[in-house]
Structure 1
Amino acid sequence: MKMIIATIKPFKLEEVREALTSIGVSGLMVTEIKGFGAQAGHTEIYRGAEYEVNFVPKVRLDLVVPSSLADQVVDTITQTARTGKIGDGKIFVLDVAQAVRVRTGETNHDAL
């Protein structure tokens, strides 16, 4: 099993969710986050005063999928979330040693 952690722009969330559902992903967790990378923030003017925004809003997706589906999930997120502009996000893929569904006690692939 693989855990995929992706950070994407918030307005791409629904489009990415629909694309993942269409390839057979049955669930994911979403967290609103703030961060910075190459874009390193920007300045905004609010009520006449200029403010430096050092952290940019992003959405973090966490999902665990069978190893056989991981490459397809990464490709789907990459293609769907891409705008071609700085700050499109990052994807990390990690090995998962064990998964347990709390309600039923099912483990590993059955828990997904």
Structure 2
Amino acid sequence: MAEFDDDPESQPAGHDDSVRTGRPMQIIALMKPFRAQAVLAALEEVEILGGVVREAMGYGRQKNRLNQYLGSEYNTSFLPKVELTVFVEEEHLAAAVKAITDHARTGRIGDGKILVLRCFHDYLAW
């Protein structure tokens, strides 16, 4: 079993910790698709290590609503969302979360969620 510590001898080969000053953190944000560009533009001001953007389907309190399209009803249990996953240093975490919430929030139901996870050096190498 791998141990998670800051011992330089336990770091993976090629690992250079001199560049990093804090532990990397992973932020997963789910948002409405039309807010994604604004969030990405806001994150340009924050130092991020990397990230990925994916299309996703959301399921929450807005479930089981029926809408009509060309005279036919359809269920909107799953609504389109954008999943943004970014990695930031721990000292930039608050700024990144603030940038996401400020630009993703519309004040309506289904705005999304933000998850913050700690990454261990053994599993994150650039």
TM-score by length of 2: 0.75
The alpha-carbon deviation at position 26 of structure 1 amounts to 5.2
Question: Relative to 1, partners in 2 of residues 1:2 and 1:41: Cα closer, same or farther, differing over 3 Å?
Answer: farther
Does structure 1 residue 76 correspond to structure 2 residue 99? Answer: yes
Larger Rg: 2
Match of 2:50 among 24, 27, 32: 27
Q: Where is the helix percentage greater, Structure 1 or Structure 2?
A: 1
The separation in 2 between residues aligned to 1:86 and 1:76, in whole angstroms, is: 19
Q: Is the Cα contact below 8 Å between 2:59 and 2:79 reproduced in 1?
A: yes
The separation in 2 between residues aligned to 1:4 and 1:41, in whole angstroms, is: 29
The alpha-carbon deviation at position 30 of structure 1 amounts to 0.5
The separation in 1 between residues aligned to 2:68 and 2:102, in whole angstroms, is: 33
**5+ unaligned residues in a row in structure 2: which ranges?**
1-23
After TM superposition, the structure 1 = structure 2 runs for residues 19-58 of structure 1, keeping only pairs within 5 Å, are: 19-25=42-48, 27-58=50-81
| CA deviation profile, 1:15-44 (whole Å, cap 9, x unmatched) | 000000022335320010002112225222
Moved >4 Å (runs of 4+):
none
Q: How large is the RMSD of aligned CA atoms in angstroms?
A: 1.3
Question: Percent identity at matched positions?
Answer: 40
How many residue pairs match? The answer is 101
TM-score by length of 1: 0.83
| CA deviation profile, 1:33-59 (whole Å, cap 9, x unmatched) | 002112225222122111112101000
| CA deviation profile, 1:66-90 (whole Å, cap 9, x unmatched) | 0111111111100110101111110
